[in-house]
């Protein structure tokens, strides 16, 4: 995404010097929590000012441990603003100023790469259960009726130094299912497992997809889901090389791993799937593991939000906004917030979202 906007946003956060911790302040003032916030809101693009008075910012919400927080609604967010005449960040109601916090469908492209291990052990022993689990994964992530902004492609690897394309990126569920059903025991010419190579090549492909989808003003992210039933046997690449491919990838690329079989090392898989990993040595759990990771991918894809706001302010170069996310989970309130500044020079009306 636009790095200069991201840097500007971070500098704005550092420069912001006003807050509201005084308990004597009115109830509509924002108060910085005295404890660590459980949600982390990270600005990915913006803030962007569009005259006459529109402010936009694209952000992601995660738990402190990095797990994505998806499917929040507009009712889960609260907006506070502070101008030059305000003693605190005051909550802004919808009747005072139009605002909108949108999900991904309107402006954002999320792509999923499903990467399957089709080495000899899978093709000879686990192919049918894998195909059934992969089809259910597709059904969980891709809507039955194609929608813009959500797509998936399928690749596979064996012992060759190649990441084979099975189905190109598409938003058509039937095409993906047909591709999976086409897999047969004779698809591979090398029964070994080049897992580290598959990780490296998947990271490169994800970067390519991301750059394609981020042309112009488009915003995008990619989730890579790697399935394997064992460890790297080809020995073509080092583990450190594969880990570096994951670690050095863009913040807009997420990695998930699925492992099934007696050779699986869950701790190692977690290193290659920092955004989510599921494993079991029991083949009968393959559907459950794929379903679990599908839920993580869905949550990841829906943890991005676009905030658009028509400010009532008409002057000031260091005005401030707080966006707060607050939800109740089993009776326990989770909150997180972020502050940024904006320049209202030249602001006027009318403003339309």
Q: Is the pLDDT of residue 167 over 70?
A: yes
Total tally of structural domains belonging to the chain: 2
CATH number reported for the structural domain that contains residue 322 in this entry: 2.60.40
Question: DSSP assignment, residue 29?
Answer: B
Same domain, 126 and 264: yes
**Collapsed DSSP state (helix, strand, coil) of residue 267:** helix
In whole angstroms, what is the distance from residue 211 CA to residue 341 CA?
29
Section 262-286 average pLDDT: 91
Same domain, 171 and 97: no
Q: Judging by DSSP bridges, how do beta strands 108-117 and 219-228 pair with one another?
A: parallel
CATH number reported for the structural domain that contains residue 217 in this entry: 3.40.50.410
Residue 352 lies in a domain: no
First-to-last alpha carbon distance for the chain, in angstroms, is 22
Angle between helices 127-141 and 286-301 (to 10 degrees): 20
Tokens of 177: 């299912």
Element (H or E) spanning 176, and its range?
helix 173-181
pLDDT in tens, 46-87: 899 999 999 999 899 998 888 889 989 888 998 999 998 888
pLDDT in tens, 203-261: 999 999 999 998 777 788 999 999 999 899 999 999 999 999 999 999 899 999 999 98
Same domain, 70 and 178: no
Q: Is the pLDDT of residue 171 over 90?
A: yes
At 20 the pLDDT is 42
Q: Is the pLDDT of residue 327 over 70?
A: yes
Alpha-carbon distances of 331 from 71, 334, 337, rounded to whole Å? 18, 10, 20
Same domain, 65 and 141: no
Average pLDDT, the chain: 87
Same domain, 166 and 200: yes
Domain that holds residue 34: 3-102+303-342
Residue 35 confidence class, pLDDT cut points 50, 70, 90: low
At 12 the pLDDT is 43
Same domain, 212 and 147: yes
pLDDT in tens, 99-118: 888 765 556 889 999 999 99
Same domain, 92 and 129: no
**Collapsed DSSP state (helix, strand, coil) of residue 353:** coil
Total-model pTM: 0.82
Same domain, 143 and 250: yes
Residue 132 confidence class, pLDDT cut points 50, 70, 90: very high
Same domain, 70 and 170: no
Same domain, 63 and 163: no
Residue 349 lies in a domain: no
Residue 350 lies in a domain: no
Residue 348 lies in a domain: no
Residue 165 lies in a domain: yes
Burial class (CB in 10 A: 0-12, 13-18, 19+), 27: exposed
Burial class (CB in 10 A: 0-12, 13-18, 19+), 273: buried
**Collapsed DSSP state (helix, strand, coil) of residue 11:** helix
Same domain, 116 and 242: yes
At 147 the pLDDT is 82
Of the candidate ranges 30-34, 158-162, 170-174, the one whose mean pLDDT is the lowest: 30-34
Residue 347 lies in a domain: no
Same domain, 249 and 152: yes
Q: Is the CA virtual torsion 228, 230, 231, 235 positive or negative?
A: negative
Which residues fall within 8 angstroms of residue 303, CB to CB, at 6 or more apart? 60, 61, 62, 68, 69, 70
Residue 191 lies in a domain: yes
Q: How many other C-beta atoms lie within 10 A of the C-beta of residue 164?
A: 17
Helices first, then strands: H and E counts in the chain: 8, 14
Alpha-carbon distances of 144 from 108, 150, 266, rounded to whole Å? 19, 12, 32
Residue 353 lies in a domain: no
């Amino acid at each position: 995404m636009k790095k200069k906007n991201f840097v500007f946003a971070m500098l704005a956060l550092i420069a912001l010097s006003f807050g509201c911790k005084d308990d004597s302040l009115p109830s509509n003032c924002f108060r910085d929590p005295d404890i660590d916030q459980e949600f982390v809101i990270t600005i990915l693009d913006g803030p962007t000012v569009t005259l006459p008075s529109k402010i936009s910012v694209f952000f992601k919400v995660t738990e402190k441990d990095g797990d994505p927080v998806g499917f929040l609604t507009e009712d889960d967010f609260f907006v506070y603003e502070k101008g030059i005449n305000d003693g605190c960040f005051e909550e802004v109601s919808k009747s005072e100023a139009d605002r909108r916090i949108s999900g991904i469908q309107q402006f954002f492209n999320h792509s999923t790469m499903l990467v399957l291990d089709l080495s000899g052990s899978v093709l000879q022993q686990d192919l049918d259960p894998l195909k059934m689990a992969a089809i259910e994964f597709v059904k969980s992530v891709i809507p039955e009726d194609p929608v813009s902004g959500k797509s998936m492609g399928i690749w596979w690897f064996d012992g060759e130094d190649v990441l084979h394309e099975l189905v190109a990126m598409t938003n058509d569920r039937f095409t993906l299912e047909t591709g999976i059903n086409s897999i047969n025991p004779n698809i591979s010419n090398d029964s070994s497992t080049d897992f580290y190579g598959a990780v490296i090549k998947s990271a490169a492909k994800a970067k390519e997809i991301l750059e394609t989808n981020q042309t112009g003003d488009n915003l995008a992210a990619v989730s890579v889901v790697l399935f394997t039933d064992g460890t790297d046997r080809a020995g073509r690449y080092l583990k450190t090389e594969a880990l570096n491919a994951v670690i050095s990838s863009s913040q807009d690329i997420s990695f998930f791993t699925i492992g099934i079989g007696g050779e699986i090392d869950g701790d190692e898989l977690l290193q290659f799937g920092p955004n989510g990993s599921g494993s079991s040595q029991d083949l009968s759990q393959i559907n459950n593991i794929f379903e679990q990771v599908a839920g993580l991918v869905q949550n990841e894809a829906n943890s991005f939000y676009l905030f658009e706001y028509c400010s009532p302010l008409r002057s000031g170069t260091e005005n401030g906004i707080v966006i707060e996310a607050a939800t109740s989970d089993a009776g326990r309130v989770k909150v997180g917030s972020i502050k940024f500044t904006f320049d209202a020079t030249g602001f006027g009306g009318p403003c339309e979202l």
